[in-house]
Structure formats: structure tokens, C-alpha cells
């Protein structure tokens, strides 16, 4: 009997016990889309770093042995999704994972979680930001926000960037190895826009009305749906529409439920709609 009779996505990300982000979000989302989610943790957090205090434990020293056991089982993945990476060493771990498990049939989604609003996250080293570029050639779909796209291309950050400039930015990311790019969460006043770039195709935009403040977990929902949809054969533009609509509905529900901003986005009640 084979371990590979069911579709599987490997998720390389941190595990957060409270605050609804990372693996804790990807696992139910991908499972609801009828695909097995196989997490490889990069770090363990009691709750995410947006809280005043948290416990964390780096998992880097254990990642090789963890993936070696998967190799012994001869696991094959239909999708690979990467998220938060805590050190430059973990870039090498991800590259090793790709060598062990990537195949022509696997869809790889790279979510380069590095910063927002024109700045790196306070805990994010510049060395790691530079090294993140080494993962671009593995990305079938790259999902940076505008800050991350600018960092990856050494471009000055401007929140009022035009569509023409976004297209040039995406072209540079594809020249660096990414096969397609979705720049997510572009602030357009009362709306948020996702800019979709696939070489040799006209760029597309998907826009949703804003609902409440930005919350942890929205990017993880977005990349998880894109990866699962790709494994299930959906086009990138249709997948972005799917993810954007689901997130907007979940954010409206979160506002209605008066959930504290630190506690993330309420999506559980909507999982059956995926």
C-alpha cells in the first residue's frame, strides 16, 4: 500500500498555538479543500508576536531529521507551501526539502513573509531578507505583499504604486525565477487589491471591499487557498478570486463577532464553503 494515494501539501511554516496564523490556519483550510496537510514546523510559538509576550522555540536543529523520516516513507507531495522562516539557515533547509521532495507535478507556493508598510518586521534580519531571494526559482506562485516585492527587487517602497509599475516589479521577480506572482493586499482606499502577473498574459486585478482592520492569518489563508486550488487544477485568477472572497467574508464575520485584533480572523464557521 502506498502513502501517496491521497493528495498532499507540505506546509513549511511556524506553528502558533493562539492567534490564528501559520500552520494553525493552513491545516484546516487545506483539509477543508479535500487535501491532506503535512506540516513541517520552522518554529513553535505559544501565540504570535503581535501579543505583548509569547513563548517561542526555534525548530531549525530538528528540520533535517524530520524531513529525513518523510524521505524514508517515500512521501510525494502535490504541493509545497512555505511561509515564515526564522533564520538564514532555514532557507538552506527549505532548499534541501525541495531537492528531496519537489517534482514536476508538485506546485510550489512561496509566501515570503518578511515585512509590511515598507519595513521589515522588527525581528526579521536583513541577511534573511537577502537570502530569501534564493527561493524565487522554486516558486510556481510567489505571493508577496508590496513591501516584500520591493525588498526582493531592491525597489523603493511607495504605497501609491501604479499598475504599470506593479507589472514591472512582477516582471523582475519572474526574471529572478518565479513563474507567476500575486502581489497581495494592495491598499486602494476603501478596497484591497490583488495584482496577478503571469508571463505572456495580461495582468489581472481582483478587488474586495475592506472589512475591518488587517489581522494575522489573512496571508496564510490566502496562500493556503492558492496552493490547494492549484493542486486541484483551478486557474490562478479564479483562485485569487476564491481566496479574496473567502477572506472578505471571514473578516466581516470577525468584525460582527467583536473579536480582539490580536486574536486573528474567524474562518472556522465558513470552512464548509471552501
Instruction: For residue 134, give the DSSP letter.
Output: G
Q: Are 155 and 169 in contact (CB under 8 A)?
A: yes
* Cα–Cα distance for residue pair 72/66, rounded to 1 Å: 10
What does pLDDT average to in each consecutive run of 10 residues of the chain (274 residues)? 93 96 97 98 94 95 97 96 92 96 88 90 84 96 96 93 95 97 91 94 91 83 98 97 96 94 94 94
Q: Give 253-274 as a DSSP string.
A: HHHHTT--GGG----GGGGGG-
- Our CA angle for 89, 177, 90, nearest 5°, is 10
Instruction: For residue 226, give the DSSP letter.
Output: H
The domains found in the chain, sorted by start residue, are 8-273 (3.40.1190.20)
| Residue 270, C-alpha cell as written in the block | 465558513
Q: Which residues contact 144 (CB under 8 A, 6 or more apart)?
A: 111, 112, 114, 152, 173, 181, 183, 184
Task: Encode 160-183 in three state secondary structure.
Answer: CCCHHHHHHHHHHHHHCCCCCEEE
Q: What's the gap between Cα 263 and its chain centre? A: 19
User: Which SS3 state, helix, strand or coil, does residue 70 take?
Assistant: helix
State residue 7's pLDDT score. 97
**CA proximity to 45, closest of 28, 67, 24:** 24
State residue 57's pLDDT score. 95
Taking each continuous run of H as one helix and of E as one strand, the counts in the chain are 8, 11
* Cα–Cα distance for residue pair 239/233, rounded to 1 Å: 10
Angle between helices 218-231 and 23-32 (to 10 degrees): 40
Amino acid at each position: 500500500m502506498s502513502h501517496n494515494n491521497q493528495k498532499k501539501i507540505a506546509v513549511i511554516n511556524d506553528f502558533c498555538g493562539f492567534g490564528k496564523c501559520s500552520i494553525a490556519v493552513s491545516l484546516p483550510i487545506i483539509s477543508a479543500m479535500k487535501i491532506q496537510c503535512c506540516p513541517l514546523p520552522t518554529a513553535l510559538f505559544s501565540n504570535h508576536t503581535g501579543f505583548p509576550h509569547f513563548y517561542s522555540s526555534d525548530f531549525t536543529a530538528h528540520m533535517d531529521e524530520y524531513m529525513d523520516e518523510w524521505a524514508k516513507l517515500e512521501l510525494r507531495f502535490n504541493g509545497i507551501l512555505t511561509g515564515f522562516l526564522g533564520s538564514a539557515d532555514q532557507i538552506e533547509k527549505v532548499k534541501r526539502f525541495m531537492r528531496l521532495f519537489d517534482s514536476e507535478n508538485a506546485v510550489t507556493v512561496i509566501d515570503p513573509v518578511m515585512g509590511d508598510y515598507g519595513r521589515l518586521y522588527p525581528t526579521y534580519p536583513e541577511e534573511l531578507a537577502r537570502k530569501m531571494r534564493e527561493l524565487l526559482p522554486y516558486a510556481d506562485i510567489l505571493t508577496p505583499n508590496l513591501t516584500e516585492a520591493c525588498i526582493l527587487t531592491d525597489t523603493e517602497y511607495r504605497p501609491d504604486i501604479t499598475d504599470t509599475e506593479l507589472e514591472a516589479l512582477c516582471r523582475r521577480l519572474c526574471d529572478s525565477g518565479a513563474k507567476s506572482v500575486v502581489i497581495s493586499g494592495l491598499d486602494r482606499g476603501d478596497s484591497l487589491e490583488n495584482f496577478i502577473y503571469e508571463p505572456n498574459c495580461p495582468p489581472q486585478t481582483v478587488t474586495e471591499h475592506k472589512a475591518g482592520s488587517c489581522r494575522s492569518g489573512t496571508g496564510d489563508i490566502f496562500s493556503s487557498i492558492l496552493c490547494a486550488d492549484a493542486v486541484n487544477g483551478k486557474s490562478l485568477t479564479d483562485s485569487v478570486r476564491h481566496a479574496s472572497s473567502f477572506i472578505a467574508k471571514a473578516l466581516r464575520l470577525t468584525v460582527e463577532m467583536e473579536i480582539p485584533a490580536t486574536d486573528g480572523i474567524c474562518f472556522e464557521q465558513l470552512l464548509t464553503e471552501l
